Amino acid sequence: MQNELNIVGIQADLIWENPERNLAFFEEKIIRLSKDTDLVVLPEMFTTGFTMKPENVAEKMDGKSVSWMLKMAKEKNLAICGSLVITQKGNFYNRLVFVHPSGKIEIYDKKHSFTLTGEDKVYTSGSEKLIVNYKGWKICPLICYDLRFPVWARNTENYDLLIFVANWPTIRIKAWKTLLKARAIENMSYVIGVNRTGKDANNYQYTGNSLLIDYLGEESSNLKKNEVGIIKATLFKDKQTRSREKLGFLNDMDAFKIEQ
């Protein structure tokens, strides 16, 4: 088990439906990271932006973007995750792909489709949470709109890190920051939220405001409004564990069952 986890989130002005340019941007950032980086988190639909025309950009799991993630993970000896437009068995998915440096791949399909933009009409929703075991850390990756549903994110698995990758627009950015802190506090877990900047083809504006938050709701790292760049921090599992043991909040949470 590794007590310290060095995590990086990369905030970008995504180029609309242009995987080549987006991958080139992220690669330039990743190759410059220090050798002690353990995990890199990229935004939602990091190769395309939040498109509702998946037929234009969808890839298979053996496509160029997942292959690129495998290449980066191996060359830099780190894990990398972010969501992509994936097609499988005739369906389209907003799929988070988590690639280990060993080449192991784990996936999470977005549970809560964003009905305001019709995501539910073109993408198939997932039904299962993913808990990744990486270097002794239990990691729960979720996607954008999932942030609004605390029951789905509830820490029943005793995870250590909660990830949200997003394309969260400027008009609701106050909710983004508030809910990220709420998820950290109520689950007594480190939280990273990685958003995008810029304007997409539908004229939605994004200011980023990516955040790293500790298990008590304190910001460990953040990016300013409209800033393109990285957030990074070292997370300490022993400190989080001691805080959980001292306060005991997770021991008192209500039991529940999610019905699909």
End-to-end CA separation in angstroms for the chain: 34
Clarify whether 181 is annotated catalytic: no
Q: Round the CA-based radius of gyration of the chain to a whole number and report it.
A: 17
- Tell me the three state secondary structure of residue 238: helix
Q: Out of 44, 59, 106, 119, pick the active-site residue.
A: 44
Q: How far apart (Å, rounded) are the C-alpha atoms in residues 45 and 83? A: 5
Q: Out of 81, 140, 144, 232, pick the active-site residue.
A: 144
Query: Quick one: tokens of 246?
Result: 């001292």
Query: Quick one: tokens of 156?
Result: 């029943």
Clarify whether 44 is annotated catalytic: yes
Clarify whether 121 is annotated catalytic: no
Residues with Cβ within 8 Å of residue 257, at least 6 apart in sequence: none
Q: Out of 59, 110, 140, 181, pick the active-site residue.
A: 110
Q: How far apart (Å, rounded) are the C-alpha atoms in residues 90 and 123? A: 11
Q: How far apart (Å, rounded) are the C-alpha atoms in residues 189 and 183? A: 8
- Which amino acids are annotated catalytic? 44, 110, 144
